[in-house]
Homo-oligomer: A and B are copies of this chain.
């Protein structure tokens, strides 16, 4: 096996094309080993094996800098740069993350997980190289799906101003996570169909040089192309056409399902059934499908992650013109929902907490200044959400809840979530965001309110005394457990409050609490800094009320165990009781 002798990119430079092809097959075995047992980004990694080999064959990493967009396609790069153990040895899976990571290797320049950033980051590397008078190639590797993101388009537009060596490898597999959306993909198709020769060329229109590689899974073609641009003095695009999931029939056939895949049996492609259980993805989709059928003005919008709220290809087709996937274009999505609402439509835009970070200005300027009555569904906004440092869902409360005019709601259970969503869609006064619960689908027997237009009215769910617990959203159940524990240990039942509104203070209730309570505990599923609890602490700042805020520390955490994080932040009922009775 060749792969056993590859500890760094230097080790592949003496191999011939045939040997490199054997190496590619060996790499796919390693990829299959990790991906089938651990899950991960299957399609992107299987598709770019040859291109990664050719890049390391032609260029000299790390002197030549490779920057991978999103970097979910960096597994082959990791294998070729001394990290093979994490793929072939099951006990070493945990040694590496699923993304590039400078802490792992000098061949990785950035911790990257969001799309569309590679060109701008790489422009910075190139600019520093130039002002310092150094040389070397800087190469950004970006998939076609990422091209529609505003940051990527800004970077591509700027790149031609560098006026020095800069290479953008566009890895075109004719897919985003789902299918691509946007006019530029028609141009990519024309380029593929014309062998890169059609006169109207997006990249040339941005002022870049351009070459075309028809088969981006052919190592020989790739080496020739990369050699031809190595040390180019001008910003240049190398457009390579690859097959997403290349080398594994199920992944080549069902590209959307195999973009990211859970563990599976390599022989069949089947994953163990996870059983029949409720999840907010399909529940949300069902709810929105019913709303859209009943009312033609309801429109659901996603940005490249439609399945995360249940919109499978079949559901998307069924929804027709009332469903829009804008592709990777979150800023556009938020501005567009403001426009839809302004013209009397009822738009709902859903994406992950981490991806809403792309839209701060659009939420503020396009949506909230205009008080457009649109609905934002904030998914995986929780310590229970995604666990990679680049996809954390614990920052949305400070980011969004301090924007004026926005009503940000935190439902505590399934029934309350859909009541809030229904109210939000039908009302015409407020921009509303709703945090989809993330702690499993919890049901309640108690009737939930259907009207949330009395803004900032918290709900007392259990009336007690001494201590009042304000337990927000999907940490409400922690509040319930804490209330039970306090009752059990002290003999006095505390008051339990479901605040519901993240964006404001129920001053009347907070005043009222002063009468029979000396302590208020807030619990929220997000970082404390800039969050909900601090608003309560400010309200009571000059009073005698003792306020204890519970939530997460302001920090980037990576590949964590939820239980560890909760314990480190003293978020178990036992820890909280111990603190407040200390």
Contact = CB atoms under 8 A, between A and B. Distances in A.
Contact of A554 (B324, B369, B404): B404
A389 to B, nearest CB: 6
Interface in A100-127: 102, 109-114, 117, 120-127
Interface string A391-420: 000010011011111000000000000000
Interface stretch (A200-208, A213-221, A471-479, A481-489): A200-208
Given A110-B342, A296-B131, A183 B154 contact: no
A173 B329 CA distance: 27
Contact of A157 (B128, B148, B299, B364): B148
Copies per assembly? 2
A98 interface: no
A154 B547 CA distance: 45
A297 B161 contact: no
Given A132-B345, A200-B201, A398 B402 contact: yes
Interface string A141-156: 0000000111101111
**Most chain B CB atoms below 10 A, which of A117, A157, A389:** A157
Interface in A354-393: 357-358, 360-362, 364-366, 368-370, 389-390
A128 B115 CA distance: 29
Given A361-B358, A404-B554, A131 B299 contact: yes
Interface in A148-184: 148-151, 153-161, 181-184
A321 interface: yes
A158 B132 contact: no
A188 B476 CA distance: 56
Given A111-B369, A369-B389, A546-B541, A299 B148 contact: no
A236 interface: no
A154 B430 CA distance: 25
A190 to B, nearest CB: 9
A404 B556 contact: yes
A527 interface: yes
A364 B120 contact: no
Given A117-B335, A123-B332, A131-B297, A157 B151 contact: no
Contact of A202 (B109, B205, B337): B205
Interface stretch (A32-40, A432-440, A530-538): A530-538
A371 to B, nearest CB: 9
Contacts of A338: 110, 121, 124
Contact of A340 (B124, B184, B199): B124
B365 A113 contact: yes
Contact of A343 (B129, B322, B535, B549): B129
Given A527-B402, A555-B404, A331 B154 contact: yes
Contact of A538 (B149, B201, B537, B542): B537
B158 A187 contact: no
A135 B487 CA distance: 63
A423 interface: no
A154 B361 CA distance: 15
Contacts of A158: 148, 181-183, 326-327, 329, 332, 336
A130 to B, nearest CB: 7
B160 A183 contact: yes
Interface in A289-336: 296-297, 299, 321-322, 324, 326-327, 329, 331-332, 335-336
Query: Which of under 10, 10 to 19, 20 to 34, or 35 or more describes the interface residues of A?
Result: 35 or more
Contacts of A16: none
A540 to B, nearest CB: 7
A343 B402 contact: no
Given A205-B184, A530-B402, A340 B128 contact: yes
A450 to B, nearest CB: 25
A341 interface: yes
B202 A151 contact: no
**Most chain B CB atoms below 10 A, which of A122, A362, A369:** A369
A344 interface: yes
Nearest to A187: B205
Given A111-B369, A154-B332, A370-B110, A128 B345 contact: yes
B339 A127 contact: yes
Contact of A127 (B112, B187, B336): B336
B362 A360 contact: no
A548 interface: yes
Contact of A200 (B65, B160, B205, B365): B205
A148 B159 CA distance: 12
A568 to B, nearest CB: 15
A540 B296 CA distance: 52
A559 to B, nearest CB: 13
Interface of A: 65, 102, 109-114, 117, 120-133, 148-151, 153-161, 181-184, 186-187, 199-202, 204-208, 296-297, 299, 321-322, 324, 326-327, 329, 331-332, 335-345, 347, 357-358, 360-362, 364-366, 368-370, 389-390, 395, 398-399, 401-405, 519, 527-531, 533-535, 537-538, 540-542, 546-549, 554-556, 580
18 contacts: A120-B336, A124-B338, A124-B342, A126-B339, A127-B339, A128-B344, A129-B343, A131-B321, A153-B154, A154-B326, A182-B207, A187-B207, A201-B205, A205-B205, A368-B556, A369-B390, A537-B540, A541-B546
